[in-house]
Amino acid sequence: MTELAAAKAALKTQAVETPSWAYGNSGTRFKVFAQEGVPRTPFEKLDDAAKVHEFTGVAPTVALHIPWDEVDDYAALAKHAEQRGVKLGAINSNTFQDDAYKLGSICHPEASVRRKAVDHLLECVDIMDATGSTDLKLWFADGTNYPGQDDIRGRQDRLAEGLAEVYERLGDGQRMLLEYKFFEPAFYTTDVPDWGTAYAHCLKLGPKAQVVVDTGHHAPGTNIEFIVATLLREGKLGGFDFNSRFYADDDLMVGAADPFQLFRIMYEVVRGGGFTPEVAFMLDQCHNIEAKIPAIIRSVMNVQEATAKALLVDGKALEAAQRGGDVLEANAVLMDAYNTDVRPLLREVREEMGLDPEPLAAYRRCGWAERIVAERVGGQQAGWGA
């Protein structure tokens, strides 16, 4: 198989999970901007996600966020997803929007609050059982704002204890994905601030615990591809939350701020054997001022373009230049792949998959945007307050 044929075959197997919350109203901490046609229920979120998959062909699963996506019958929700041509993906927990969590959740100094948080995580595993989801995604807003506010080591002990209880509840084929974030909303210490802390806890927990890399959760200048390479080498990279950032955790469209960084990350994924179902590629974005569904389609396409370029890196030429100490040539091999216009290649891939070669244009022609504006009148739009 030629290099080009291999790249096309790999691209056809790619899967990018979209997040249910990206289809709802969102904004900044100052204002949430409502849009017409926004889903009112988790079922309508799945309807929109199905459109993304229909036109991209590589967005077959939808992540849920609990309690934002609570329903009475999760089996019915899973069935609705399948009827629309998608499936339910990761179950994301929420231990940051309850008043009880002001001083933390799973790391809180009071045992009763920790119990509340862990019970919620266990409930999320119950939901996984009902939906057939395999991934429990954990992000904690836990931390402190002032020196002396709480015992740093004690909070790590509480974290380990809570994670261990949830880990033991996981069933066969289920896993825990631990996310990290170096600041916000805690400003002095964050209890899971970096990949090393997440890795240490996952290593102690066992093989069902892996690390999630959110591309917006790093300090400026952080070499994210090094983190990816290291976690892949250790067999502890569970997945990504793809987005873009300029200053902090901006949750902008993936590839918007630094497409070269996304390419570098995807190259390490391909080079490290991470282009497999065991590494989850999920978007984690908030579309505040742009139309939701087109933005998500565009984001999926951005991931595809970065992946295609990474697959086109001439590995033999790169290895030869590296072994020979030819710094400029090694860099040139990577840059040649990055500077390749892969859009014609992706059009061919889509046509071979029976898709329209231009997903965004096809979506705009289908009339779905006009239909949901006309039909989704009344009720409470999905979203979060700010």
pLDDT band at 386, cuts 50/70/90? very low
Q: Is the pLDDT of residue 93 over 50?
A: yes
Q: What is the DSSP string of 300-329?
A: HHHHHHHHHHHHTS-HHHHHHHHHTT-HHH
Predicted confidence (pLDDT) per residue in 243-302, tens digit: 999 999 999 999 999 999 999 999 999 999 999 999 999 999 999 999 999 999 999 999
Mean pLDDT of 210-226: 97
- Give CA–CA dist 24/19, Å, rounded: 10
**What is the architecture, at CATH level 2, of domain 13-375?**
Alpha-Beta Barrel (3.20)
Q: What is the pLDDT of residue 240?
A: 98
Predicted confidence (pLDDT) per residue in 299-318, tens digit: 999 999 999 999 999 999 99
Domain ranges of the chain: 13-375
Say which residues have a Cβ less than 8 Å from residue 371's Cβ, sequence separation at least 6.
none
Mean pLDDT of 145-160: 98
- Give CA–CA dist 82/103, Å, rounded: 40
Residues 39 and 73 sit within 8 Å (Cβ to Cβ) = no
Q: What is the pLDDT of residue 202?
A: 98
Predicted confidence (pLDDT) per residue in 225-246, tens digit: 999 999 999 999 999 999 999 9
